[in-house]
Structure 1
Amino acid sequence: MKETLILEPVKGNETILSIQYNHIIQAMLYNQLEEEISTFLHEEGFQKENRTYKMFTFSRLMGKFYLDKEEGKIIFYGPIKLTISSYYNEFSNSIGNNLLSSQTIKLGNNTLRVKELAVKQENIENNQIKIKTLSPIVTYSTLYRKDGKKFTYYFNPQEGKFSEIVSSNLKNKYKAYYLKDAPEEDVEIEPISKTKLSVVKYKDFVIKGYSGKFIMKGPVPLLQMGIGTGLGSKNSQGFGCVEVI
């Protein structure tokens, strides 16, 4: 389920955030959740072996803005739009109900009014869909240099490993959520437009992801999982949010 918010400042016309604002949005979302759901996602989540999935993601903020690189700030003018996506209905219901009842939220040091909340369920019926990213898709592996030191390699959409990791990730999420094996057929994803590299700092970590339009093929249940939870890794940190086009 996708919930799209239109937010506007309670006072003035500006919303001032750190340029690297993903963790600020994530904190706001957790603050909107009922305590039981927030605690479950923080401490347990949906698990498969040593991997934990939160089953939600969110978009980049959209609106008119100015980047103050010297100060490391982004200044939005007027309304801003945020899309929240989740496969976990309790999460979506809790977020939606609390936003409607509170009417205002804290985003960093800003107090914003919830001007509009639109809810959409994207039901996948075909085994081939076209999508566009609302936040970059992240796929990576931890590799070793010749000297034995570890490093993180981020794959781009032209590399076969990109599609392979997206597919494996969706199967793991499916098994974690339903506690049963995922469909055996792989998901394939490939770009149908020029892709853009984004380098985002999340707290002390640098994360690389790609945005663009893609075609996806595979089992309908896995495509549905991807549209809801996000594609690739680090979804709950604001990566891999996509919508059908």
Structure 2
Amino acid sequence: MRFKVNLQAVDERIPLGNRFMICSLIKNAIQNGDKDLFNEIYLYEDKKNKRIKDFTFSIYLNDFEVTENYVEVKGDLSVTISTPNYNLGIAIYNGLLKIKTFEYKDYKLEVKHVALLKEGKVNSDLIRCKTLSPIFIRDRDGKGIDINDDKYEDALNYICNIYLQTYRGIGLKERLKFTPINMKKVVVKEEISGFKASTGKKFIFIDSYKGLFNLEGDVDDLQILLEAGVGYRRSEGFGLIDLM
């Protein structure tokens, strides 16, 4: 299930690390749309649940300027949300329809419109894709792996296998083959709760990649990954892809 949310920054500004603002919006939407599902996803024995989430998203800004302390947005911003989990998609969709304005720290968003999007259908074991949000692949120490490193494809297979195992009880049916076509490195700046306390730094910098690539594997695997996203930090606005 895939849909687009059109938003407006009430004060014409959003935080530099705006992915976590959208994470908070989606979390609020799930709580509004299905409280039982929210508790299942985000809580475990009354504590924060770190389970892998079944959604990803991308942010598109129109008419914006990055300043030292925030992003000035004079136009609308749109968020594309995708999930292979129909019940979760319905919860997010219905929850967003109930939200008129949303406050995050000192920022405020107005929900203008929510619309369903046509989903791509995988019909081949080889698909050409484009990123809608950058893909983040890391090593065991949390460091981003260069896309030309032989370990990149291994790490991609590792995290996709873990996700599929969590989602459906079965991991990858076939090993994925990742072939970059026109990929560009992007360094994403994000403000993450707890990161400053543990490192003394306000922002974390995430080495990721965007562009065009081929992905080869089992058709069913590819379909789910198209809907769920690929790589690490998917539920934080990384790894959303679309068919070319």
| Structure 1 and Structure 2 fold alike (TM over 0.5) | yes
CA distance in 1, matches of 2:227, 2:29: 19
Query: What is residue 163 of structure 1 aligned with on the other side?
Result: 153
1:83 aligns to what SS in structure 2? Answer: strand
| 1:83 alignment partner AA | T
Shift of 1:201: 2.1
1:58-90 Cα distance to aligned partner (Å, 9 max, x none) = 113332101112xx2001112211101111111
Query: What is residue 20 of structure 2 aligned with on the other side?
Result: 23
CA distance in 2, matches of 1:127, 1:194: 21
Shift of 1:123: 1.9
Query: What is residue 147 of structure 1 aligned with on the other side?
Result: none
1:195 aligns to what SS in structure 2? Answer: strand
Structure in which a larger fraction of residues adopt strand: 1
CA distance in 1, matches of 2:110, 2:16: 18
1:122 aligns to what SS in structure 2? Answer: coil
8 Å CA contact 1:4, 1:82 repeated in 2:
yes
| 1:219 alignment partner AA | D
Query: What is residue 146 of structure 1 aligned with on the other side?
Result: none
1:186 has 2:175 as partner? yes
Query: What is residue 240 of structure 2 aligned with on the other side?
Result: 241
RMSD, aligned CA: 2.0
Q: Residue 134 of structure 1 is aligned with which of 132, 153, 178? A: 132
1:38 has 2:38 as partner? yes
CA distance in 2, matches of 1:208, 1:35: 35
1:197 has 2:197 as partner? no
| 1:175 alignment partner AA | Q
| Superposed structure 1 runs of 4+ greater than 3 Å apart | none
| 1:80 alignment partner AA | L
CA distance in 2, matches of 1:236, 1:5: 16
The 10-residue stretch of structure 1 (81-90 or 113-122) with the greater mean CA deviation from structure 2: 113-122
Structure 1 residues 79, 199: CA separation in 2 closer, same or farther (over 3 Å shift)? Answer: closer
1:135 aligns to what SS in structure 2? Answer: coil
Kindly report which structure 2 residues correspond to 1:56-135, keeping only aligned pairs within 5 A, or say none.
Answer: 56-69=55-68, 72-100=69-97, 102=98, 104-108=100-104, 109-135=107-133
CA distance in 2, matches of 1:218, 1:135: 21
1:145-204 Cα distance to aligned partner (Å, 9 max, x none) = xxxxxxx32112222222222222222222212223531x21111211141222322412
Kindly report which structure 2 residues correspond to 1:227-238, keeping only aligned pairs within 5 A, or say none.
Answer: 227-238=226-237
Shift of 1:107: 5.0
Shift of 1:235: 0.8
CA distance in 2, matches of 1:138, 1:107: 28
Q: What TM-score results when the alignment is normalised by the length of structure 2?
A: 0.84
Structure 1 residues 186, 207: CA separation in 2 closer, same or farther (over 3 Å shift)? Answer: same
1:140 aligns to what SS in structure 2? Answer: coil
Q: What TM-score results when the alignment is normalised by the length of structure 1?
A: 0.83
1:4 aligns to what SS in structure 2? Answer: strand
CA distance in 1, matches of 2:89, 2:177: 27
Structure 1 residues 85, 105: CA separation in 2 closer, same or farther (over 3 Å shift)? Answer: farther
The count of aligned residue pairs is: 224
Structure 1 residues 175, 95: CA separation in 2 closer, same or farther (over 3 Å shift)? Answer: same
CA distance in 2, matches of 1:164, 1:6: 36
| 1:135 alignment partner AA | S
User: What stretches of structure 2 of length at least 5 have no aligned partner?
Assistant: 45-49, 196-203
Structure 1 residues 181, 199: CA separation in 2 closer, same or farther (over 3 Å shift)? Answer: closer
CA distance in 2, matches of 1:159, 1:107: 41
Shift of 1:31: 0.2
